[in-house]
Each structure stands twice: as C-alpha cells, then as structure tokens.
Amino acid sequence: MPAGTFTPPTLPGATTPPTPIPNLPAFCRVQITSSPTSDSSIGIEVWMPENWNGKYLQSGNGGFAGTVPYTSLATAIQRGYAAAGTDDGHADPVGTDASWALGHPQKIIDYGYRALKETTDKAKSVIEAFAGNAPQFSYFAGCSDGGREALMESQRYPNDFDGIVVGDPANNTIPLLTQFIWDMQALLASDASYIPPAKLPAITNAALAACDAADGVEDGVIGKPRQCHFNPSELLCTAGDNDSCLTEPQLAALLKIYHGPHNSEGQLINPGFLPGAEAYAGGWPVWITGPGPNADTIVQAAQYQFGLNFFRYFVFNDPNWDLQSFNFDTDVDKALAAPIAGQPLADVMQSVDPDLSAFRAHGGKLIQYHGTTDAAIPPGDSVEYYRSVLSFFRIYNRKNTVDEVGDFYRLFLVPGMQHCAGGPGANSFGQPFTAPLADSAHDVIKALEAWVEQGKAPDQITATKYTNDDPKQPALFSRPLCLYPALARWNGTGDASDAANWSCR
C-alpha cells in the first residue's frame, strides 16, 4: 500500500462509510481467512511498514468485535511495528450484535480466545516470511474487550508476548454483563425509576462538591475516588421534581448502580460504578441511561444492547429472551456453566485466572490501567483482578508479594478518564485507540518497551489533558499516573497544571 491515506473496507450492513486513516507510511497489507474448524471464518490482517522496527504489535478488539481494528493497526505501523489484528471470527459493523453466536459454538470459541492465537501464529509466520527473520520483541495492546483479550494472552498463551498493555479490561465478562442487566432493571423498575440525562449534571456536581478537593486541587476531577464519601441522598427532591434533584425511585436506581449487582443473600456479583462519571458525553448517556429524555431511549444504551444480546445469544439461545426475567440468584451460575462445544462459557470468555507464573517465567511484563470515570467497566474490576494476583503469589511462595508481582505486573488507575480514553481528567498517555506520544515517561507502550528491553520498570506515567482531547492542540494540564494503590496529590506549591508539582502517595 502506498504512503498516505487508507480507507478500511465497508462491512455488509454498515450504515455509515468507514473513516479514512491518513498519514500512514507505505506498508504491505496481508489479508488472511483462517478456518480452524468447519464453522470458523476468522478474518486477520497483517501490516508490514516500509521501515520496520523489528518488533511486532498485536492489537485487541472491542465490544463483540466483528471487524479488524484498523485504527489500531494504523497507529502501530506509525510507531514502526509490524502489526496484526482480527475480526474475532465474524462480521458486525456496530460491535454490539451477537446474533452470529446463535447456534454457532465454534464461533463463540473463536471470539473468546481462538482467533487471538490464530492471529499471533499466522502473523509471526507472515512477518518472518516477509522480512527473513522473526520479530525481536512481540507486544500485545488492547482496551475494553481488547483488555480481556490481553489478559487472556497472558494466562492462556503466556509465551507468545514479551510485553502486554491491558486497558479497562472486560475480563470478568459474565459478572460484568450481569451488571449491565442489573443497571437496566434498576432504571426500568417502574415508570418513575428512569434517570433522564438532564439530571446527570446534578449528580456529578454533587459528587465533585463532596470529593474533588481531596487531592489538593479543585479541578473537576475526583483524584481519590476510593476515598470519595458522597451521599447521593442529599439529592432527594424536597420541593417538587426538577433537574436539580432526584425522586425516591430515581435515588433508589442510582444507589443500585453505585452498589453493583447482588443476589438475594447480599453477595456482590461485580463492583459498582464510582460516582463522578455520570454527566460526561461519553459516560452514562452512552452506556447506562441512553440519550433520553425518557425510558423509551434506554434501548440505545450500550449496556442494554450488550447485556441483552449476550444473554440471548451466548447463554440462553433465545432471541426473544427478556432482560427483565434475569434471576440474580441462579442465572449467573447458569451463564458461567453454559455449554459451548463441551466447555463451560466461563472457560471460553473469562480471563480472570490469577496464576501468571508461566507469563512471569517467560520474562513477560504487563502494564494495566483503568479510568476511574469509566461508565462501561467499573475500575473495581481491575483492582479485584490485581488483588487476586497478589493473593495467588502470596500463597504460591510467601515472599514480599507486592515487590515480586511488581517485577512483572503493574496497575495504574487514571483519575477522570472514561472508557479507554476521554473524560475530564488527564487521559492521554499513548494508550490503545490514541496517538503515540513523545517518550516512555508519557507513552504507556513506550514505557512497556523500556521495561521489556531495558529493564526500566515504570513507577509512574505522565498523562496529559489536551484541548478537545487532541494531542495536536495545546495541553491543558498533566498528572502523574501512580502505581496502585498510590494516587497523585498536589504538593501544595507550584503550578497545579504541571505533573512535576504532584506526588504519588
């Protein structure tokens, strides 16, 4: 392909044309269809840039996949990598449809993990045939479902990659999608339960008033979300219903979303969402409430679509299944055990195994991050997985677990970042779906390279908030992303917009 602009192919059923991708180097584009079973048709693309850096970067997908992640491949070859990605074995122009899974267990397995391995093996073979030698280093980077895939690589295929970047992962897939059903049931419990988007600013403003200053600066970002003691009951309407308050049914729905799904015995199924994420454009109106103004539009919410379609087509095999029928006492276990070509669905989809000993023995390094205002996947999911790895290694060898795990796996929370990118906080640090940045201090993929190739483990990464979230425009402020469980706090002197005047504590 000549240097310049590449236009991705238009998928059948697409309602909008694909966006052209500019400023690409000349590259060789290899298209592969892999059929490891008679019902498999895995689309794979391998891109080799003209000036190859000798390394390989595989990109994860998002949602229910259905298309090759062309934008991520483009960013990878702009960095100099040989790049590859997959549609995970089916076509879906919107990424929320799961009807392809009905009656096709092998396609579910392709989506769950097999397409990842097919892509890795075939891409490395193509690269070696093209260049005459294998990649010197191999990396994987993904966010959302791509984060689930990234952790799947570390657990199921620990020898395939030297370094992995995991963003906002959907790795606890079945409890997470259960949470989506929980949130929808909360908002649809009665005609009065729905929270219209017009009320979301009042919720966010109240959360900011309670918690914004905890990091030393009032900047519209809750820098210490785990220490946020916001009482939503203060928003209860006392003098009639208006956009500055919540009715009792709306307050009950909000509290259920914050608390997360539970069964009838009070056992938590998945962590709830943190306050402060409600009003932003890519937050609750996209994921939870829909665009409003009333409950009829909730069917447009991403949680509604993902939750409904997953349980219809992956679990119950019933296109008419109604999310209001979900039983939180029994249906989670049914979903985990749902048979997929002789395997439980949990084994196909979940990437929650804390045993990373084989990945560590391979010499692999893993950086994980999660935005605290993510309205798609609670940051508590990443924290719980990290803690499970600590617990595993504490039992495994009883050494200084935090230091030992930190030798190969590090977690960073990103205050004020939404799902994978965007949000009011410093949200640009070279992560998947965003532009590369200058150096390993500011770019998470370059930080991973420095760790793998030079042994320089990242203690913090500087993230930047740009005007309109565009790195080509002026920077508004920067913040250090801290090694979990530390969080950034302003030192009390110096320009608060400069990360140099903040410390991880």
Query: Are the C-beta atoms of residues 131 and 48 closer than 8 Å to each other?
Result: yes
Annotate 379-397 with b (16+ C-beta within 10 A) or e (fewer): bbbbbbbbeebbebbeeee
Q: Is 478 annotated in the active site?
A: no
Structure tokens at 157: 């295929």
Q: Is 374 annotated in the active site?
A: yes
Annotate 76-111 with b (16+ C-beta within 10 A) or e (fewer): bbbbbbbbbbbbbbbbbeebebbebbeebbbbbbbb
In the chain, the amino acid numbered 242 is N
Which is the catalytic residue, given 40, 419, 443, 478? 419
Q: Which residues contact 190 (CB under 8 A, 6 or more apart)?
A: 249
User: Which of 333, 342, 328, 288 has its CA nearest to residue 315?
Assistant: 333
In the chain, the amino acid numbered 267 is Q
Which is the catalytic residue, given 374, 382, 428, 478? 374
In the chain, the amino acid numbered 385 is Y
Question: For residues 409 and 451, what is the distance between their CA atoms, to the nearest angstrom?
Answer: 11
Question: For residues 379 and 370, what is the distance between their CA atoms, to the nearest angstrom?
Answer: 6
Strands 475-482 and 365-371, by their bridges, are unpaired
Which is the catalytic residue, given 40, 72, 138, 144? 144
Q: Which residues contact 442 (CB under 8 A, 6 or more apart)?
A: 429, 430, 461, 462, 463, 464
Question: For residues 290 and 268, what is the distance between their CA atoms, to the nearest angstrom?
Answer: 25
State phi, psi for 258 to the nearest 5 degrees.
Answer: -65, -40
Q: Is 370 annotated in the active site?
A: no
Written in H, E and C, the secondary structure of 63-113 is CCCCCCCHHHHHHHHHCCCEEEEECCCCCCCCCCCCHHHCCCHHHHHHHHH
In the chain, the amino acid numbered 182 is W
Query: Are the C-beta atoms of residues 419 and 144 closer than 8 Å to each other?
Result: yes
Q: Which residues contact 262 (CB under 8 A, 6 or more apart)?
A: 268, 269, 328
Looking up tokens 């390989």 gives: 56
Catalytically active residues, by annotation: 144, 374, 419
